[in-house]
Amino acid sequence: MYFSELGFISLILAALFAVLTLVLAVIGAWKKRSQYTSSARHGALVVAAFLVLATAALVISFITHDFGVRYVTEHSSRSMPWYYVWAALYGGQEGSLLFWSFSLGLFTSLFVLTYKRAPAVLVPYVIATLMGIQLFLVLMLLTVSNPFVRLTAIPADGVGLNPLLLDPGMLLHPPLLLLGFMSFSLPYAFAVAAMISGHLNSEWLRAIRRWTLASWAIQSAGLLVGAWWAYHVLGWGGYWGWDPVENAALLPWLTSSAFLHSTMVQERRGMLKVWNLFLVIASFALTIFGTFEVRSGLISSVHSFAYSDIGGFFLVFLAVVIVFSTGLFLFRLPRLRPDQEFDSIVSREGVFLLNNFLLLGITFATLWGMLFPLLSSALNKQMMTVGPPFYNGVNGPLFALLILAMGVGPLLAWRRTSTSVIWRNIGVPLVLAALCAIILPLCGITNVLANIAFSICAFTGAAILYELWRGARVRHKHGESYPVAVFMLFKRYRQRYGGYIVHLGLVFLAIGVIASQFFQIQHDVTLKVGQQTEIAGYQLVFLGNLQQEETGKTVVTAQFQIWRDGKLLKYIYPGREVYHKMDQPVSKIEITTFGLNDLYVFLNDWDGPTKVGVRLFMNPLVPLIWYGGGLMLLGGLLCWWPAAQQGSRVRSQRRMSVPEKDEKQSAEVAV
């Protein structure tokens, strides 16, 4: 028996047990019998085991070069390093879908093993919903997207991955995005469970907070790695092109970010219940929409898979999800009335609501830009494309307002904030923002829009650091050193201060984006040996080209020296690799970081050993994008990290020390 046959049988068994588990979970919920729910939990583990077996069978088929499997032939070859052979597992449509199903099985198992942390009444409904999603995926694998189809004539070697995918980014970006898309299934399953059971208090929100944080963090990492991959591989000097598939990955990140903010309002004030359910449903629906978009072939993208009938099935599944969720939502709408009303828009919950509006505005604008070409083609019989100018022009101001709101929010109290408190809290950040607006033009940065954007970032960054300093100062007054005080703030209030770190990371990321968008320098030049060119004060001297033949490819390397102020700084070697089998060129881009600026050198053309054409970019502050993204992930991890046990927390509150009481009072100013 081939391993591919074992994999296919495993998928059949996974489908059968998914049906059985779904039925047991429904009976357990309907009859309120714990033995059925217990059996459903065990059934979910069995489904996951069969999916692990199926995935292992495909991995072994790749490792053993079983080119009798069509998917293995199309996405691997004997010359590929082993780590790219492993990455080929999710390099195509069938394998990526199997990876998604496999990951969902593992996440479901993790939920089943930790189910006691969730309200008991929700557990069978959650399992039933997850099994419904899992059943759809497995049925797709068994029918229209089978990764185990065998060929009648077995080739000696495979085609291999597209050379552009033979990059370290391939090892991280696709699995992170697939994990991110998949992980939104669990918050959605909780939302469905809450609506069906009528258990709509804040318990279901607390139960999914860490799951949603995990989804958000995974999706954030996937987007960040994807931007880095595009930056150092594609050769256009940028990191985000508003490509439809990039946008599809961004959409659920936006809605989940809104959800994480509005949950705090519901837990604190019993408000925004409708918003929270809507945002969870929207996040999951957008992951299905993104999967449909990638596989349907309707929207042109460099990231899309080839056209397949599976796109239509995902469209039907998306319609079922929307109709089913909307029906439940409307049915429970009368029970979603807020416990309290807004006392004032000038309050922390008012800013959270504004954040939601802004994030949803960005979501809608991005979705509209993706769908507009299809609508124009259907209505006017003419495809009209939407490019980066539209997204930058619409989303840019919305993101600026969002960052400003991030700075204002922590300075306001819950319920309402008096004018005197506002001015007292906002004074320091406002002064620093004003100084930024004055100093930047004196330093030669005269672009008005850029100065406004930088000043907004300065305000928000200062507001976050000011809040951190105020908390540390209170503890310091009672005897703690500042380092200890900061550590204790993060230890005792992880969610709050972890959120500040996320916001601070986003500020750094925004500064990098603003600088690189407004002040990027581009220079195209053709040089002969010994000639030099200059960009942003750096001189590049061309020394010649080297061309050599390697296994399956031709490698061309240009040699340059980088000089500044008469001092040799570095040798660089931008190049191209041309793969013979596919006649596919892949760029070897040289990115040299000086301080916080990137010198980006792309080999455009060459003529023998003595002539070269290069495209040069000076990208200011781009490293801040990667540092800021890393800071966001660190903050997300702090928010996700489990807090002390409830009993320990109660005992801690009973013996709360004076600095902690003062700190809490200063943090919760109420007027």
How far is Cα 130 from Cα 117, in angstroms, rounded to an integer? 17
Asked whether residue 629 is domain-assigned, the answer is: no
Least confident of 45-54, 111-120, 357-366: 111-120
Rg (CA), the chain: 27
- Mean pLDDT, rounded, of the chain: 88
Mean local confidence (pLDDT), 366-393? 82
The yes-or-no verdict on residue 339 having pLDDT over 80 is: no
What letter represents residue 668's amino acid? Answer: E
Q: Strands 553-564 and 611-620, how do they pair?
A: unpaired
The yes-or-no verdict on residue 39 having pLDDT over 90 is: yes
With cut-offs at 50, 70 and 90, classify the pLDDT of residue 293.
confident
The yes-or-no verdict on residue 547 having pLDDT over 70 is: yes
What 660-665 contacts at long range (C-beta under 8 Å, 24+ apart), as own/partner pairs, is 660/475, 660/492, 662/474, 662/477, 662/478, 663/471, 663/474, 663/475, 663/489
The yes-or-no verdict on residue 658 having pLDDT over 60 is: no
How far is Cα 598 from Cα 619, in angstroms, rounded to an integer? 5
Asked whether residue 657 is domain-assigned, the answer is: no
Are residues 204 and 259 both part of a single domain? yes
**pLDDT score, position 250:** 95
∠ at Cα 150 (148, 151), nearest 5°?
Answer: 150
Which residues lie across from 525 on neighbouring strands? Answer: 614
**pLDDT score, position 403:** 95
Rounded alpha-carbon distances, angstroms, from residue 636 to 103, 183, 497, 498 = 21, 15, 10, 6
Asked whether residue 355 is domain-assigned, the answer is: no
Phi, psi of 601 (to 5 degrees): -120, 120
How far is Cα 46 from Cα 24, in angstroms, rounded to an integer? 13
Least confident of 89-93, 375-379, 488-492, 588-592: 375-379
Asked whether residue 443 is domain-assigned, the answer is: no
Query: Per the structure block, which two tokens stand in for 419?
Result: 């004018």
Are residues 186 and 299 both part of a single domain? yes
Report yes or no: 52 and 139 within 8 Å, Cβ to Cβ. no
Are residues 288 and 332 both part of a single domain? yes
Mean local confidence (pLDDT), 658-670? 42
How far is Cα 2 from Cα 519, in angstroms, rounded to an integer? 57
The yes-or-no verdict on residue 409 having pLDDT over 60 is: yes
If you search the block for the tokens 């819950």, which residue do you land on? 414
Convert the pLDDT of each residue in 567-584 to its tens digit. 999 999 999 988 877 767
% pLDDT > 70, the chain: 93
**pLDDT score, position 660:** 45
Total number of domains constituting the chain: 3
Q: Is 80 helix (H, G, I), strand (E, B) or coil?
A: coil
How far is Cα 148 from Cα 74, in angstroms, rounded to an integer? 12
CATH code: domain of residue 583:
2.60.98
The yes-or-no verdict on residue 481 having pLDDT over 80 is: yes
**pLDDT score, position 301:** 55
Q: Among 472, 459, 471, which residue's Cα sits nearest to residue 503?
A: 459
Asked whether residue 201 is domain-assigned, the answer is: yes
What letter represents residue 314's amino acid? Answer: F
Are residues 175 and 132 both part of a single domain? no
**Which element (helix H / strand E) includes 560?**
strand 553-564
CATH code: domain of residue 106:
1.20.120
How far is Cα 413 from Cα 669, in angstroms, rounded to an integer? 5
Q: Is 1 helix (H, G, I), strand (E, B) or coil?
A: coil
The yes-or-no verdict on residue 16 having pLDDT over 70 is: yes
How far is Cα 257 from Cα 360, in angstroms, rounded to an integer? 10
The yes-or-no verdict on residue 450 having pLDDT over 80 is: yes
H helices present in 346-418, as ranges: 348-380, 388-408
**pLDDT score, position 299:** 63
The yes-or-no verdict on residue 391 having pLDDT over 50 is: yes
Helix axes 185-197, 123-142, angle to 10 degrees: 130
Terminal-to-terminal C-alpha distance of the chain:
74
**pLDDT score, position 653:** 44
Query: Per the structure block, which two tokens stand in for 659?
Result: 């600095």
How far is Cα 58 from Cα 71, in angstroms, rounded to an integer? 9
Least confident of 197-211, 494-508, 640-654: 640-654
Asked whether residue 423 is domain-assigned, the answer is: no
- Tell me the HSE value of 346 on the side-chain side, using a 13 A CA sphere: 10
Are residues 31 and 54 both part of a single domain? yes
Mean local confidence (pLDDT), 623-632? 96
Q: Which of 245-249, 301-305, 341-345 has the highest mean pLDDT?
A: 245-249
Structural domain of 616 = 520-623
Report yes or no: 165 and 91 within 8 Å, Cβ to Cβ. yes
Are residues 182 and 210 both part of a single domain? yes
Report yes or no: 279 and 262 within 8 Å, Cβ to Cβ. yes
The yes-or-no verdict on residue 455 having pLDDT over 90 is: yes
The yes-or-no verdict on residue 654 having pLDDT over 50 is: no
The yes-or-no verdict on residue 201 having pLDDT over 90 is: no
In the chain, count of helices (H) and strands (E)? Answer: 21, 10
Mean local confidence (pLDDT), 418-428? 81
Are residues 141 and 261 both part of a single domain? no
- Give the predicted TM-score (pTM) of the model: 0.91
Are residues 211 and 273 both part of a single domain? yes
Which residue among 604, 623, 642 closes a domain?
623
How far is Cα 360 from Cα 259, in angstroms, rounded to an integer? 10
Are residues 182 and 331 both part of a single domain? yes
**pLDDT score, position 646:** 44
Convert the pLDDT of each residue in 49-97 to its tens digit. 999 999 999 999 999 999 999 999 999 999 888 899 989 999 888 999 9
Are residues 140 and 196 both part of a single domain? no
Which residue among 109, 137, 161 closes a domain?
161
**pLDDT score, position 303:** 52
Query: Per the structure block, which two tokens stand in for 569?
Result: 């700084």
**pLDDT score, position 668:** 42
How far is Cα 398 from Cα 405, in angstroms, rounded to an integer? 11
The yes-or-no verdict on residue 505 having pLDDT over 80 is: yes
Asked whether residue 661 is domain-assigned, the answer is: no
Mean local confidence (pLDDT), 388-403? 94
Helix axes 173-183, 185-197, angle to 10 degrees: 0
Which residue among 327, 354, 389 closes a domain?
389
How far is Cα 660 from Cα 493, in angstroms, rounded to an integer? 11
Are residues 259 and 329 both part of a single domain? yes
**pLDDT score, position 74:** 92
Phi, psi of 614 (to 5 degrees): -130, 155
Are residues 156 and 187 both part of a single domain? no
With cut-offs at 50, 70 and 90, classify the pLDDT of residue 17.
very high
What letter represents residue 517's amino acid? Answer: Q
If you search the block for the tokens 């992880």, which residue do you land on? 494
Convert the pLDDT of each residue in 591-618 to its tens digit. 999 999 999 999 998 888 999 999 999 9
Mapping DSSP onto H, E and C, the string for 245-262 reads: HHHHHHHHHHHHHHHHHH
With cut-offs at 50, 70 and 90, classify the pLDDT of residue 273.
confident
Least confident of 171-185, 218-232, 296-310, 528-542: 296-310
With cut-offs at 50, 70 and 90, classify the pLDDT of residue 1.
low
**pLDDT score, position 197:** 92
Q: Strands 532-535 and 521-528, how do they pair?
A: unpaired
Phi, psi of 32 (to 5 degrees): 55, 45
The yes-or-no verdict on residue 502 having pLDDT over 60 is: yes
Report yes or no: 304 and 297 within 8 Å, Cβ to Cβ. yes
Asked whether residue 646 is domain-assigned, the answer is: no
- Tell me the HSE value of 137 on the side-chain side, using a 13 A CA sphere: 28
Report yes or no: 404 and 460 within 8 Å, Cβ to Cβ. yes
Number of neighbours of residue 112 by Cβ within 10 angstroms: 19
The yes-or-no verdict on residue 669 having pLDDT over 60 is: no
The yes-or-no verdict on residue 128 having pLDDT over 70 is: yes
How far is Cα 273 from Cα 638, in angstroms, rounded to an integer? 25
If you search the block for the tokens 């850029």, which residue do you land on? 450
